[in-house]
Structure 1
Amino acid sequence: MGRLVEALEKVGYRDGETLFGAPYDFRQAPAAPGKPCRAFSRFRRQLRALVEHASRTNGDQPVVLVSHSQGGYFALEFINRSPMAWRRRHVKHFVMASTGAGGFVLGLQSLVSGVSDASPMGLAGRSLACKFTSLPSPKVFDRDTPLVVTRDKNYRSS
């Protein structure tokens, strides 16, 4: 992210004026909607306030959210849990940088197999609930559309 910030500053963005950061501890996975999660609830409140502040300070223009790596999944959760009217007013674009499917697939392999993946998280990584945030959601995939089709069984979002 450091190089991206440097590049944005070179073209005129200014830290704290037109460029803001919102770090999140990836070990605190968002709970399912309607379930409590203090850390993610606090993050959502703070990010919402930051987005509104950034918009207000820049002529009430909608902002561009840029995420990096696993932060993309948390930012996507934030966006999905924000009311549509708020999103239309405050978020112009959402850019996911380096939120790779390869890493996601490797993480899920370790989650379902119990075998550690090659990530720096090692054995601890397989127990992180945050890996569930990027699984298919019935909000996107209806319950009648198969996500995986095999000879013996079809799997749907639930």
Structure 2
Amino acid sequence: MTTGFIWGKFMPIHRGHMYLIEYARERVDHLTVLVCSRLHEPIPGSLRYQWVRELYPEVNVQHCDDEIPSYPHEHPDFWTIWLNTIRRFVPVGPNVVFTSEVAGDKLAEILGARHECVDLRREKFPVSGTAVRGNPGACWELIPPSVQAYYTEGLYKMLPPIFHDPA
């Protein structure tokens, strides 16, 4: 049985993330997706976890909300911290780590896996979570309905109360 692993913030999930998950899902027997979040982030981690679980019920989706470094430059023991954290969710394996990042090489190395980098240049789906958060409307076709609803609701809440109660 081949196993795969994906980690990310999914802040929010978009077509690029979805392509990565679907690509990986077709190539392994068992896929774990780890949604990583921290308290200070603009979209709650529990909501991002819910979005991924709803989109991919057949995938083992896990949520890590530990307050640990997000990037290697934030802590000298970054990779050791993450190895120990990931092992709580994926005690054995995986065979393959799927990412769209060069850093996936190091992650695969510490997990004893092969790295498969998917669409590094973001040519299939030219989108990022930063771009979506900065201008959701410009990325509307690249986000799933659940994320569209999140942004629509947020816009609705920003309207003056007169628009909230139709007469």
Structure 1 and Structure 2 fold alike (TM over 0.5): no
* TM-score category, normalised to shorter length: 0.3 to 0.5
Higher relative contact order (CA 8 A, sep 6+): 2
TM score, norm. by length of structure 1: 0.33
TM score, norm. by length of structure 2: 0.31
